[in-house]
Amino acid sequence: MSCQRLGSFLSLSLSSGLSLSSALSLALSLSLVFSLSLTSLELAPAYAGPSASSAPITKDEDDHPLEVARTLNANGNYRRALVVLQANIDANNPPKGPIKISVEDWHFDNTGLNLALRELSTEQLRNLHYSEVYNLRGLTLSFLKRYADAEASLLKAVALNPQNGAALSNLSVVCLQLGRADEAIAFATKALKISDRFLDAHKNLASIYRAKNQLELERKEIEAYNRCRKLTLEDKLSRSGLSRAKYMLSLISQRPPSAKRSIALGVIYKQFNSFAEAEKCYLSGIKADGKLVEGHWAYGLLLSTQRRYGDAVKEFSEAIALDPTYGMPHFNRGNAYSHLKKYSNAIDDYTKFLEMNPRTAIVIVDAYFGRAGCYGQMKQYAAGIKDLNKALALKIAPNIRAEILSNRGSLYEALGNKTQALKDYEAAMELAPNSKVISEQRGKIMLSLGEFEQATIDLGRSNTTEVDEVSKEPPSAADLKAQIDHYDKLIKMFPNKSIDSLYNRGLLYLTMGDAIKAGADMQAVVTLSKESNATADYAACYGSIALRMQKRTAEADNLLQAYSKKPRREPAPPEVQFLMNRARAITPGKLTIADAKQRTRILTLLGLDSLARNDMNSARKVLSSVRNSGDPSMDEYALAVFYLKRLGHT
């Protein structure tokens, strides 16, 4: 490998288009920060498949080492990922290296970031790239539990780019695994000084404080994590670009003043969401050289981000006037016109852009999607469907395909073709089963077709609350009663399929402190379940807890004993075994808990069992962990917080 374009290495955060802007995050984030819970999360075993061997490096692995290695890691193929990354490192060393890196033509970069990258020297570009490589290599070595080697790789990443907050956050995790908690705290703190948006550093600190039983400090870090995560969801700040942008700012700000330097700084400040500073830089660059097409175009991108679409149209128009052969301003102006509801003008710009044979696949998809949306607004549904068909014919990620299918379904529905609309919604649901929007679409059309049971399920799912939309406080008594009324209706409508509704209502009764009704619902779930399953497992456990709360200990033991005799296809999960058998070999601290939802579910169950057995110290500790790091969108979270408050813990 003698020469490599930087655009092939750095996966940039792409955003464009009318309503696909949030979904079109197709680029892979290079900031592969990982977080380990000291007491609950275990690393997955290393993949040992045939591709982990010393097979020759493919062209794709050679051209796109970071993207390929990320995919390999996601699939558990850590050894092959290590081979790919090491090959890229070897290419930079004698006798092959040093590797030559060039920046992709900014005309084909819809983010503007290459306008900043072009201001860096070859050595600086190389440092930027290899800091990412060594960071990812350190992560991969950590997955293989080679922590000493991982530490060396991550330190190399920081040496190449001292602003690499992702590598610093990863170093904190590695130090934890090596038993050096103080250094772990130092690295996480250093990452947060670069930016408090390195969310995993907050999580790592929370893990340390949890291990030290410093629950209030853990809670503060979790609250900081939630606050910064919410901000990031709102302002779309790219955490993956922060390290690169900080590094570039430190270098480019030292260069002699020029129009291109000002524009580059504008691009960087935009990466930080420092829009006022970015605008000053763009205006300074345009004042120094008003003929720079990229200055007007990049400034237009900033104005669009700020929703100043009228001003953005003027800047994109100026860029088009300066260089009619440059296609990207047509696409961006089309987006701005769409937001201004000037759909005919937007269609003209999208069409002009597509006629110029663009080579950026992501933007081509977005242009078809944007134009289809405009056709839909103008009630030209058939034309919109035709554009979405063209987008679907391209190679796109599953989440993007789901959104396009969802929108095509809407257009078919507008044409009165409910059969085809339903097919599109169902295909979209297969690709994005957790989408509330698509659930609502399918639910409404099911309702119109008389499929009331499926409609109830879909519309119920569409009304569920996401974790980022909820309060950290439990619901009020009125809210709980409204939810119980909802399940009352479902149980009456579908008496033969009410197991899930009974279980959920039982949790709500328990959250209200009504152990009698909670116990009745949970025992009903056990009775209706012909064999053991996940819902019945938890129902039996919560039923026994409700009985113990009523001082009916013998009945609680009998319930668990009777349930254990039901036929079972798969072994009970460890936490259920623990409650049913009181197995001393299984303790909460040794359970593998993969994510916040699972942690919330398991620890709430264990905490309430401890409370029901009058082990108040264990109950406080376990329920506090749910309060600090659980998923507030779950019923179990509200349940844990309710009883934690009863224990006098705020």
Domain range list for the chain: 3-240, 476-646
pLDDT digits (tens, 9 = 90+) for 82-120: 999 999 999 988 888 788 888 888 888 888 999 999 999
User: Using CA atoms, how far apart are residues 147 and 298, in angstroms rounded to an integer?
Assistant: 43
100-102 and 3-5 beta bridge pairing = parallel
Checking if the pLDDT of 5 tops 50, the result is no
pLDDT digits (tens, 9 = 90+) for 167-220: 999 999 999 899 999 999 999 999 999 999 888 899 889 888 877 878 888 888
Q: How far from the centroid of its chain's Cα atoms is residue 396's Cα?
A: 18
User: Using CA atoms, how far apart are residues 302 and 266, in angstroms rounded to an integer?
Assistant: 9
Checking if the pLDDT of 380 tops 60, the result is yes
User: Using CA atoms, how far apart are residues 404 and 630, in angstroms rounded to an integer?
Assistant: 33
> Quick count: other Cβ atoms within 10 Å of Cβ 478?
8
The pLDDT value given to residue 366: 95
Q: What is the mean pLDDT of residues 372-378?
A: 96
The pLDDT value given to residue 649: 60
User: Using CA atoms, how far apart are residues 69 and 52, in angstroms rounded to an integer?
Assistant: 12
CATH says 3-240 is which class? mainly alpha
Identify the sign of the CA torsion 50, 53, 56, 62: positive
pLDDT digits (tens, 9 = 90+) for 49-83: 444 446 899 988 988 899 999 999 988 899 999 99
Checking if the pLDDT of 284 tops 90, the result is yes
Checking if the pLDDT of 351 tops 50, the result is yes
648 pLDDT band, cuts 50/70/90, is confident
Side-chain half-sphere exposure of 401, counting CA atoms within 13 A: 15
pLDDT digits (tens, 9 = 90+) for 616-628: 988 888 888 888 7
The pLDDT value given to residue 415: 93
The pLDDT value given to residue 278: 96
CATH, domain 476-646, list 3.30.470.10, 3.40.50.300, 3.40.50.10440, 1.25.40.10: 1.25.40.10
Higher-pLDDT residue of 238 and 416 is: 416
24 pLDDT band, cuts 50/70/90, is very low
User: Using CA atoms, how far apart are residues 333 and 341, in angstroms rounded to an integer?
Assistant: 12
229 pLDDT band, cuts 50/70/90, is confident
Checking if the pLDDT of 382 tops 90, the result is yes
% of the chain with per-residue pLDDT over 90: 50
User: Using CA atoms, how far apart are residues 5 and 58, in angstroms rounded to an integer?
Assistant: 17
pLDDT digits (tens, 9 = 90+) for 133-145: 999 999 999 999 9
The pLDDT value given to residue 492: 82
Checking if the pLDDT of 230 tops 60, the result is yes
Phi, psi of 40 (to 5 degrees): -135, -25
Single-letter amino acid, residue 575 = E
The pLDDT value given to residue 598: 85
466 pLDDT band, cuts 50/70/90, is very low
The pLDDT value given to residue 404: 95
Token pair of 107 as six digits: 């005309």
User: Using CA atoms, how far apart are residues 447 and 514, in angstroms rounded to an integer?
Assistant: 35
Higher-pLDDT residue of 3 and 183 is: 183
15 pLDDT band, cuts 50/70/90, is very low
In sequence order, the 6+-apart residues with CB closer than 8 A to the CB of 181 are 175, 208, 211, 212
Q: What is the mean pLDDT of residues 481-492?
A: 84
Q: Where are the alpha helices (DSSP H) in 465-595?
A: 477-493, 499-511, 515-528, 534-549, 553-564, 574-581
Q: What's the distance, Cα to Cα, between the start and end of the chain in Å?
A: 59
The answer to whether the 3-240 and 476-646 domains have the same CATH topology is yes
Say if residues 252 and 268 touch (Cβ distance below 8 Å). yes
Checking if the pLDDT of 426 tops 70, the result is yes
Token pair of 410 as six digits: 């809407």
* DSSP 8-class letter at 25: -
The pLDDT value given to residue 550: 95
Checking if the pLDDT of 122 tops 60, the result is yes
Distances (CA, A) of 78 to 57, 71, 90: 15, 10, 18
The pLDDT value given to residue 621: 85
pLDDT digits (tens, 9 = 90+) for 587-615: 555 554 557 788 888 999 999 999 999 99
410 pLDDT band, cuts 50/70/90, is very high
Phi, psi of 5 (to 5 degrees): -80, 135
The pLDDT value given to residue 310: 97
* DSSP 8-class letter at 60: H
Q: Which of 31-40, 147-156, 208-217, 431-440 has the lowest mean pLDDT?
A: 31-40
Average pLDDT, the chain: 83
45 pLDDT band, cuts 50/70/90, is very low
Checking if the pLDDT of 43 tops 50, the result is no
The pLDDT value given to residue 453: 56
> Quick count: other Cβ atoms within 10 Å of Cβ 202?
26
Phi, psi of 568 (to 5 degrees): -140, 135
Look at residue 638 and give its three-state secondary structure: helix
CA proximity to 66, closest of 119, 29, 94: 29
Q: What is the mean pLDDT of residues 469-498?
A: 75
Q: What angle do CA 485, 491, 496 make, to 5 degrees?
A: 175
Checking if the pLDDT of 574 tops 90, the result is no
